[in-house]
Amino acid sequence: MDKFLIKGPSILKGQVSISGSKNAALPILASTLLFDKPVTLKNLPRVRDIDTMLNLLRSLGSKIEFFDNKKKVRISKTKKQKYFASYSLLKTMRAGILVLGPLVAKHQKSITSFPGGCVLNGNSGRPINLHLNALQKLGMKFSILNGYIHASSKGKLKGKTIKFPSISVGATQHLLISSILSDGTTILKGVATEPEVVDLINYLNAAGANIKWVGKRTCQIIGVNSLKETNYTVMGDRIETGTFCVAATLTKGNLLIKGFDPSLIKTELDLLKKTGAKIKILNQEIHIKGPQKIKKINHLVTKEYAGFPTDLAPQFMVLLCKANGRSSITENIFKSRFMHAMELQRLGAKISIKNNQATIEGNTNFIGAEVMSSDLRASAALILAVISAKGISTVSRVYHCDRGYENIEKKLKKIGVNIKRIS
Ligand code: EPU
């Protein structure tokens, strides 16, 4: 297992190019199972979860061709379509479940393993009840045997009105891609409106789907018979962008962050301004300078978009450790979002956790130590903390980071971080 060896503190300066969004690319890739014609995707991030999804598609019979250093991919159908999505591929990545609906929608059958992924929900695991219940309403039948979902449908799925009992990004994406070839009209109520959902809809409509927003959280999908050959550029990664914005703010840095639409992270940028960051918004660029003294944010609350994203809560926690007083974070999406707090304490942080609320004392001067990542965004938070810590640190289990951050050590080195990957 690789580790990062980081010597701090560093002041981050220079330019960062943001990679394509992992969380936008994953459902887009899963939906290629619906096409008879090839799909070409640009701006794919070179991260492990994308490799896993491509391996999954290959195992299902898709032909995958790479271009431009694997940032562009052409996915086409072969005659060897398969319907079995194995545990070995789904155990590390929750988004693997997104192949279930398209296989049933297109071929009326699938045997798909229960997925794995980051352990963000404590003992509750990462349920997929919202996905399965909604697919059932479209006419999918299923039974569970030996950890696999055996699913089928009699003919095409049938358009229905479905109201999600709670908001889920994955279930929204899954139902969108599963209903575009259905008979009739599907109405999805209570959908997630994250930019990655919007990117998926833009791409599906470009491919000939008929999806319309008919309310703030309501989509109408009129079934079509087939999708056409499509070229699409995946949006930039908003969580990577937010992570680098925190990095600049945390280290009195000065970064020009390129390749992302700043209007999509207005909530996060407004909060960083409150902490004292100076931010200039340009076209697809953010120029951000960190303050000499970081101001506290009394209370940060994670919410569905356009609220503050759970995937940036760990990184903001690091920032608040160095702010001028006590702050708190309430986490509303995942039960185990604060697993990195114990590791931050090894670097000198003063954080107490009660239920879904973390209280962060502030005024911490981090001192280097050995720390271990527990999940993807926890690994980003630990890397940020040790960059601003005095002395040498190691961050272990960086395979979590490799799931979602492209070339992180190369990008950090370029802006002044003393970082080395050791095996
Ligand atoms: N939930 C259920 N039942 C379901 C689905 C979800 O109870 O069937 C619960 C979850 O346990 C959670 C809440 O609903 O408590 C919201 O989960 P959601 O389905 O919205 O999350 P997701 O689709 O599994 C995506 C991102 C996550 C991100 C969340 C929230 C991808 C591949 N993953 O997960 O990203 O945190 O939305 O925005 O898009 C990450 O990139 O590090 C990551 C974890």
For residue range 357-396, list pLDDT tens digits in order.
999 999 999 999 999 999 999 999 999 999 999 999 999 9
What ligand 1 atom has the least distance to the C-alpha of 125? 11
Give the distance (Å) from ligand 1 centre to CA of residue 169.
6
Minimum-distance ligand 1 atom for the alpha carbon of 309: 38
Q: Is the pTM of this model over 0.95?
A: yes
pLDDT reported for residue 335:
82
d(CA 232, CA 350): 46
**Which residue's alpha carbon is nearest to atom 36 within ligand 1?**
311
State which amino acid sits at residue 233.
T
Ligand 1 atom nearest the C-alpha of 95 is: 32
Closest CA to 26 of 78, 102, 77: 102
- If one residue of 169, 176, 400 were mutated to test the ligand 1 pocket, choosing by the most ligand atoms within 8 A of its CB, it would be 169
Q: How far apart are CA 336 and CA 122, in angstroms?
A: 5
Taking the C-alpha atoms of residue 377 and residue 118, their distance in angstroms, rounded to an integer, is: 9
For 90-118, give the DSSP string: HTT-GGGGGGHHHHHHHHSEEEEEPP---
Question: Whole-angstrom Cα distance, residue 390 to residue 373?
Answer: 19
Query: Which ranges in 190-339 belong to alpha helices (H)?
Result: 195-206, 238-250, 266-274, 313-321
Q: Do strands 109-113 and 148-152 pair parallel, antiparallel, or not at all (unpaired)?
A: antiparallel
Gap from CA of 7 to ligand 1 centroid (Å): 34
Nearest CA to ligand 1 atom 18: 168
Q: Whose CA is nearest to atom 7 of ligand 1?
A: 127
| Distance, CA of 2 to CA of 373 (rounded, Å) | 11
Q: Which tokens hold the place of 383?
A: 């890397």
Is 5:392 a contact under the CB 8 Å cutoff? yes
419 CA distance to ligand 1 centroid (A)? 31
Residue 408 CA to residue 398 CA, distance in Å, equals: 10
Mutating to test ligand 1, I would choose from 23, 92, 131 the residue with most ligand atoms within 8 A of its C-beta, which is 23
* Amino acid in position 190: G
What pLDDT score does 386 carry? Answer: 98
**Taking the mean position of all CA atoms in its chain, how far away is CA 110?**
25
Pocket test for ligand 1, best of 168, 268, 303, 305 (most atoms within 8 A of CB): 168
Tell me the CA distances in angstroms from 105 to 79, 99, 140, 259, 348, one per residue in order: 18, 10, 9, 35, 52
For ligand 1, atom 2, which residue shows the shortest CA distance?
Answer: 127
CA–CA separation, 302 vs 295, rounded Å? Answer: 19
SS3 label, residue 327: strand
Given the DSSP bridges, would you call strands 230-233 and 278-282 parallel, antiparallel or unpaired? Answer: unpaired
Q: Are 72 and 44 in contact (CB under 8 A)?
A: yes
Closest ligand 1 atom to Cα of 23? 39
Residue pair 6/401 in contact by the 8 Å Cβ criterion: no
Residues of the chain with pLDDT under 50: none
Q: Which atom of ligand 1 is nearest to the CA of 194?
A: 38
Contact present, 310 and 331 (Cβ < 8 Å): yes
Closest atom, ligand 1, to C-alpha of 170: 23
Distance CA 413, CA 230 (A): 36
Secondary structure of residue 367 in the 3-state scheme: strand
Say how many Å lie between the CA of residue 352 and the centre of ligand 1: 25
- Ligand 1 neighbours, Cβ below 6 Å, are 23, 26, 94-95, 118, 121, 126-131, 168-171, 192, 309-311, 333-334, 376-377, 404
Distance from the CA of 11 to the center of ligand 1, in angstroms?
33
Q: Catalytic residue numbers? A: 118
Q: Can you tell me whether residue 38 is helix, strand or coil?
A: coil
Q: How do 148-152 and 141-145 pair as beta strands?
A: antiparallel
CA distance 383 to 397: 12
What is the 238 CA–ligand 1 centroid distance (Å)?
A: 16
